[in-house]
Structure 1
Amino acid sequence: MPLHKIIYLSNNTKLYLWKITENLDTLSKDMRLKDSSIARLESMKSESHKKGFLSVRKLLEHIDYNDFDLYYDEFGKPNLKPQGCSIKDMHISISHSHDFSAIAISEKNIGIDIEILKDKIVTIAPKFMDITTLENLSSEDKIKKATVIWGIKESIFKIKNEPGISFPNHIFEENFKFEDKKTAALLKFNNKNEKFYIEFDSFDGYMFVCAFENN
């Protein structure tokens, strides 16, 4: 399936979603990959992970980039090579969950996370959040709120990508309402307090969360 949806966010940020309906042969057809990407793809045992990997490259092609424009730093964070006469370097973040892959492209440093909405998130919530924030919510709203909070922490971690960051002990979200589709969060780590702006929304039984460095 071609591009599923483009979501326009703050800071000239675009979120591109690909719904994975193709088989591996269709996804890989006519796709040029670096040798390192071929090796990484061949090392993946899960077909779902392979499809996620390839569909991200399909999204890159849709916006006139390709696998050769994407590189990872020593911490595994994705980056884009400057393109043409572009004045500003563009930042990228990548996520994959079940039937969807996503990339976010922005002039600001960003992190993106997409997650399928499943009741399991409530079961594991005590491992990454203060579960008192789920009190007095319906079962559906507990799933949504816990998923957003997980996404906040995951997307901030993707921006900072520093060993030792603990989701429950170092990343703290402000209280939020679903209808606002935005909030803020604080990373308290290494004797520093760093604030992040957050946008989120649901789509097709999934949730996306995007974090922006507040600088």
Structure 2
Amino acid sequence: MHESILVMGLTNESEVVDALLEERFEIYIAGHEEEAAMYARSYPVDLLLVGLTDPPMPLNRLIRSVQREQKGRRFPVVVLMHSDLDLPAAKLFRAGANDVLKNPVETDELLARIRNLLSLFGLIEEQDGQTVTVADLVIDPKSRTVTRGGVAIELTAKEYDLLLYLARHANEVCSRENILKYVWEFDFHMVTNVVDVYIRHLRKKVDRGFKQKLIHTVRGVGYIIKEGR
């Protein structure tokens, strides 16, 4: 699995896009706001990368459009502002940007900033070795062990992957589409109830016998793991 970046305002031939592809990011390139929203409706967005030229696009409207389609999933926004564009960076930050750089930009610096933001937002794979704790549930990715209240829980490989994904997004609603994308690497347009089946398995192993339930259904959207209702 690789982090996905939605790009707008840059072309396929851009050196920036080439550098991102070499780093094995998944790239979706949108030509306009409606297309960006369409991609966001269909795929999880880990980072929005916007190239601004003259005249600049309404950045706040673009960000809202993508956020709306991501159904509450948080992601950072990086803006590459053309060097000839006279626009205060503060205005872009107020519009929702998390980082602003002049373009052309050194690709090494851009990649470092992107990785840093993904890490801060908890969206990067380098965090795979860190222990994840939600209430009395503890997941150790290094040993692939799970305990609750100090008692070991035996999970299948895919049950473990699903629980780890939910726990890493604790207190965030995880849509069925995103779960299929990141846990099963399926095209979510497939007709399948595999997520619901595995959630039932997890509830039996993780929540049964505990007064405090961790796994909750968000009707019509997906699931969330949190410390009680």
Is TM-score (shorter-chain normalized) higher than 0.5? Answer: no
* Higher share of residues assigned helix: 2
> Which is greater in Rg?
2
| TM-score, structure 1 normalization | 0.29
